[in-house]
């Protein structure tokens, strides 16, 4: 598909507008990835491997944990991540492997009927929306989270977007969206209530509008536009690699 329209990943929608400003204006300034970002990348790689186990016998899935296996081939300057940072992330990564194995052994889904890591593109008037749900069948969507069980609005927005994309792209009618949390002592499966999903879909469309407007505005205003995009000053700042460039207003 050849198109001049911007590609927007589902995971880019929402979040801090100031961060989007920094992502465009400060791109290439050689900022090191944040520790939490590194941990997220490593956990995601492990989850990808766990999902592979659904399709091939467990003994055939080998997860290489040696530095830098879990960060190689990723963007975000991962080549600059030191062995020390990598090692510091390992306890959580190893725990995630344990809980994801436990989930695989105890879950009751008919996993062979599920499709994994299927990237979809939905073209709208203004952009191409790209998203990769972890797993879906002809009526159920499953998304894994490496944190503790919490029905956060951004998780719900993401699941609602995948549900919408599956209908648009594949004519699949998702009836149930489940979030599987693997960051606690035990895996936790949470069904997203229908009303929350509708709310999540509305949030997705509104936040997509804001995302596109912000990108456009940053392009027009350039560096001078920084203070047009207010600091969110919330818990997400702790995990943000731009926090030293961000002025707190």
List contacts with ligand SF4 (CB under 6 A): 16, 18-19, 22, 231-233, 236-237, 240, 242-243, 246
CB of 226 to ligand SF4, least distance (A): 10
CB count within 10 Å of CB 39 equals 22
In the complex with ligand SF4, the residue whose CB is nearer, 83 or 244, is 244
Closest-CA residue to 152 (of 186, 101, 203, 93):
203
**Is the alpha carbon torsion for 72, 73, 75, 80 positive or negative?**
positive
Q: Which is nearer to ligand SF4, 139 or 233 (CB)?
A: 233
Our CA dihedral for 43, 160, 16, 93, rounded to 10 degrees, sits at -10
Distance (Å, whole) CA 52 – CA 122: 25
Nearer to ligand SF4, 144 or 229 (CB): 229
What's the length of the chain?
Answer: 249
Measured from the CB of residue 17, what is the shortest distance to ligand SF4 in angstroms? Answer: 8
Angle at 41 between CA 35 and CA 44, to 5 degrees: 140
3-state secondary structure at position 219: helix
Please report how close the Cβ of residue 22 comes to ligand SF4 at its closest, in angstroms: 5
Of 31 and 231, which has the nearer Cβ to ligand SF4?
231
User: Least CB distance from residue 98 to ligand SF4, whole Å?
Assistant: 31
């Amino acid at each position: 598909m050849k198109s001049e329209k911007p590609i927007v990943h589902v995971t880019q929608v929402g979040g801090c507008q100031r961060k989007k400003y920094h992502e465009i204006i400060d791109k290439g300034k050689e900022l090191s990835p944040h520790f939490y970002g590194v941990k997220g990348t490593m956990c995601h790689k492990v989850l990808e491997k766990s999902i592979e186990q659904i399709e091939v016998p467990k003994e055939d899935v080998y997860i290489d944990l040696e530095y830098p296996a879990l960060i190689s081939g990723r963007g975000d300057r991962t080549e600059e991540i030191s062995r020390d940072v990598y090692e510091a992330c390992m306890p959580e990564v190893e725990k995630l492997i344990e809980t994801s194995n436990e989930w695989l052994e105890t879950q009751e889904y008919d996993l062979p009927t599920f499709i994994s890591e299927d990237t979809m593109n939905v073209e709208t008037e203004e952009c191409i929306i790209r998203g990769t749900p972890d797993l879906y069948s002809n009526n159920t969507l499953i998304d894994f989270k490496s944190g503790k069980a919490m029905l956060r609005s951004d998780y719900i927005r993401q699941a609602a977007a995948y549900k919408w994309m599956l209908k648009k792209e594949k004519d699949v009618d998702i009836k149930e969206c489940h979030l599987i949390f693997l960051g606690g002592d035990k895996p936790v499966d949470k069904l997203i209530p229908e009303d929350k999903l509708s709310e999540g879909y509305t949030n997705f469309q509104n936040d997509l509008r804001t995302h596109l407007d912000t990108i456009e505005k940053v392009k027009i205003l350039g560096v001078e536009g920084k203070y047009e995009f207010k600091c969110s000053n919330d818990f997400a700042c702790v995990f943000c690699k731009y926090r030293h460039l961000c002025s707190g207003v």
